[in-house]
Amino acid sequence: MRQTFVDTTTELLASDPRTAVVLADISADAFRPAMRRHPDRVLNVGIREQLMTGVAGGLALTGLRPYVHSYAPFLIDRAYEQIKLDLGHQDVGAVLVSIGASYDGAAEGYTHQSPGDVELLDTLEGWTVHVPGHPDEVAALLRAAARHDDRVYIRLAEQENSQAYPDGGRLRVIRRGGPLVVAVGPMLDPVLEATRDLDVTVAYTNTPRPLDAEGLRQLADTELVMVEPYLAGTSARQVAEALGGRPHRVLHLGVGRAEIRRYGTWQDHARAHGLDPAGLRAKIAEFLW
């Protein structure tokens, strides 16, 4: 996914003079050819994430379209107030593109993990959040973000599905059956495997913000399971608002809030949080039957 991001953004730099890229050392090597061609619009500020976001705000104030990139905990958690004030309060936008997600940095430890990034952005106004589940979904999301000035967050991860769904912006039904299970981004493959022989409807989206409330109302009956690759319950408010006034039970699955002080791989952490197929199956089956 990171390579698709670098390639697509490098193309945008050549085709759209509004495009700018702001980095804080992370991925600077990958952007070196682009930096040579567009030294005024590919900017590496060094290991300075507050400045990275402030610079993006300033660029946007002059009419450019900044793509801002780092590891998720440094891009979102560390520079939260710059995101709030240097972008939102100034009423300008940027495209924030993160790597690392909830626990790609499993061996790196909690300092390199950001399970709370989407929930942090949920405290702010006007953010569109994309969580692509496959590299082939990434380019279109990046190109679409070049055509306006809104605030967009694109969360790239190592975990990916076997198949791309370019039409995953709304809730897209993958399998029809009983109660609805919504899989966000890379949660689709584990959800499909977990529910292989269960009578459920599985729907996919790579755009949890804004959440497709209309699709949710159409597809959900009285029971619903949300499976998200960031903090469990991040979409609880959005689901409650979409289904408000209608009796329903909902199970929110995602990354737990307790820090897991172990290393290993992202697969180990997925299992520890119950987001592997076996863990998902146990919780979904217990909730629905």
Partner 1 sequence: MTITALPPDPLRPLIRRLTGDEKHEPSSHSTLDVLWVLYDRVLRVTPATVDAPDRDRFLLSKGHGPAAYYAVLAAKGFFPAEWLDDLGGWDSPLGHHPDRLRIPGVEVGTGSLGHGLGLAVGTALGLRAQGFADARTFVLVGDAELDEGSNHEAIAYAGAIKLPLTAVVIDNQSATHGWPGGIAARFPGWDAAHVDGRDHEQIENALTRRHDRPNLVVAAVAPKWSDR
CB of residue 128 to partner 1, shortest distance in Å: 21
Residue 46 vs 177, nearer CB to partner 1: 46
CB of residue 82 to partner 1, shortest distance in Å: 7
Q: Which residue carries 């929930």 as its tokens? A: 119
Residue 90 backbone phi and psi in degrees, to 5: -80, -5
Residue 149 vs 268, nearer CB to partner 1: 149
* DSSP-assigned states of every residue in 30-83: TTHHHHHH-TTTEEE--S-HHHHHHHHHHHHHTT-EEEEEEEHIIIIIITHHHI
Stretch (H or E) spanning 182: strand 180-184
Residue 253 backbone phi and psi in degrees, to 5: -110, 145
CB of residue 258 to partner 1, shortest distance in Å: 30
CB of residue 112 to partner 1, shortest distance in Å: 21
**Rounded to an integer, what is the distance from CA 259 to the centroid of its chain?**
20
Residues that bind partner 1 (CB under 8 A): 20, 40-41, 43, 45-46, 48, 50-51, 53-64, 66, 81-82, 85-86, 89-91
CB of residue 43 to partner 1, shortest distance in Å: 6
Residue 89 vs 262, nearer CB to partner 1: 89
Q: For residues 195 and 202, is the Cβ–Cβ distance under 8 A?
A: yes
In this structure, what DSSP letter does residue 87 have?
I
Residue 67 vs 165, nearer CB to partner 1: 67
Residue 96 vs 219, nearer CB to partner 1: 96
CB of residue 85 to partner 1, shortest distance in Å: 6
Residue 89 backbone phi and psi in degrees, to 5: -65, -30
Residue 62 vs 162, nearer CB to partner 1: 62
Residue 38 vs 273, nearer CB to partner 1: 38
Sign of CA dihedral 204, 136, 73, 149: negative
Q: Which residue carries 């060094």 as its tokens? A: 46
Q: Is 191 exposed, middle or buried (0-12, 13-18, 19+ CB in 10 A)?
A: buried
CB of residue 61 to partner 1, shortest distance in Å: 6
Q: How far apart are CA 59 and CA 16, in angstroms?
A: 15
